[in-house]
Each structure stands twice: as C-alpha cells, then as structure tokens.
Amino acid sequence: MDLRAALAAHRLVAVMRGTDPEASVRTVLTLAEEGVELIEVSLTGADALSVIERARKELGPDRPLGAGTVLTVEDARAARHAGADFAVTPALGDGIREANRLELPVLAGVLTPTEILAARSFGAAALKIFPAAEAGGPAYLKALRGPFPHEVFVPVGGVDEVAARAYLDAGATAVGVGSPLVGDAADGGDLTALRDRARAFLAVVRTVVRNTSSAGETS
C-alpha cells in the first residue's frame, strides 16, 4: 500500500491494544464499519496476531490493516504473515528494515530531529511523533516542520478531539488515536460508545480536510 497517500487521504489512525481477543476483533470491525480506514492492532495486545488474521478475513484484502509495536525482525515477519498491510513502531529498530524488505511500509516512531534523520536511513515511509503530548504538543510539531517541511508526521500519544484538530492545524498529515477513541471496547466495553467516538473523531478530521481544501481553492 501507499502509506503516505493513505495517511494524507484519511488523516486518522485508530490505535488498538486490547486485553480480550474477541472484543478486539469486534472493535476493529466496528471502527471499519464507521468509516475509520486506517486501524493499527498493537502486537502487545492479547493474541494480537490472531486478531489481525481474523480481522483481515472479515475486512477483505482491500481494507488497510496495520500491526503496531513492531520492534524486531520476528515481529515484522509475524505481522506480515498475519496479513498486516503496514507496520508501526514506537522507535527505530531492526523491525523497520525487515518490514521494508517484506514490502510493509512503516510508520516509524521518532521524537528528535536526529531520530528523524535516522528514520530516513531506515527507510520509514512516515514518522510517528511519540509520545506527542509529552514532547510539547502541537507547538513542538510546528517547530519540527520548519527544518523538515516535507516529512509526513503523525502525532501519537495523548491525542483527544481537541488535540487532533490542533495537530492537524499545525501541519500533521494525520493523527494516531488510542484510548480517547478506542476506550474500553477492545477489553469488552460498549461498542455503541465506540461508534459515537469514532463519528466524533471522523467529524474532526473531515472538517480539517474541508477547511484545508477551501483555503487551497481561494488562494
């Protein structure tokens, strides 16, 4: 898949780490039903590889599905075998190069300018600013975009609806959202509440997309 294009088109990545495999599968499918196009299943969740395999069968081959917390060569291989389309990491490591070898585009975790440069050499398709809130929030992202105006940045960590809008306004290509979106759904929680949260986040990113398009048309 073209991860950079998908991030630019959809602007939202759901980050899921569940303690209940059955609920985790239901969560992935519910998010997809609500129109969340990019979903990451963290490998640190319960029976995560099976969750990816089962969700892939339900979603079909054309719906993007990612594996998160890909740290090692073995993680990358297992994610690929389970049916993941892209990999997400919290940092720079051997899993990135192996994922690239397996033709899995990588959203690689970085925090500093030095790590951004290193991520290029690792072959990362896009950059996950993590943990974004602790790093300084939208102001920090805006500062990074000065020397790196063409990078695809995806802030992750502490991103609620208000922060999502602020990050996108500050130049993020997309935002990654975990518990403020997923809540307890992947642990067996309320799927109706999950649907409500998904619609709220999608409304935010779609509004930003419309505003950006309108600005481009009038410039």
Structure tokens belonging to residue 137: 């929030």
Write down the catalytic residue from 22, 37, 40, 161.
40
Structure tokens belonging to residue 17: 């780490």
**Calpha distance 39→202 (Å, rounded):** 13
Write down the catalytic residue from 128, 134, 142, 161.
128
Residue with tokens 């975790």: 109
Residue with tokens 């306004």: 169
Is 40 known to be catalytic?
Answer: yes
Residue 85 Cα distances to 30, 56, 98, 179, 213, angstroms = 19, 10, 14, 22, 28
**Calpha distance 208→211 (Å, rounded):** 5
E-state strands within 112-162: 126-129, 153-155
Residue with tokens 């993680």: 75
Is 57 known to be catalytic?
Answer: no
Write b or e for each residue in 201-215: b if 16 or more Cβ atoms lie within 10 A of its Cβ, otherwise e. Answer: bbebbeebeeeeeee
Residues with active-site annotation: 40, 128
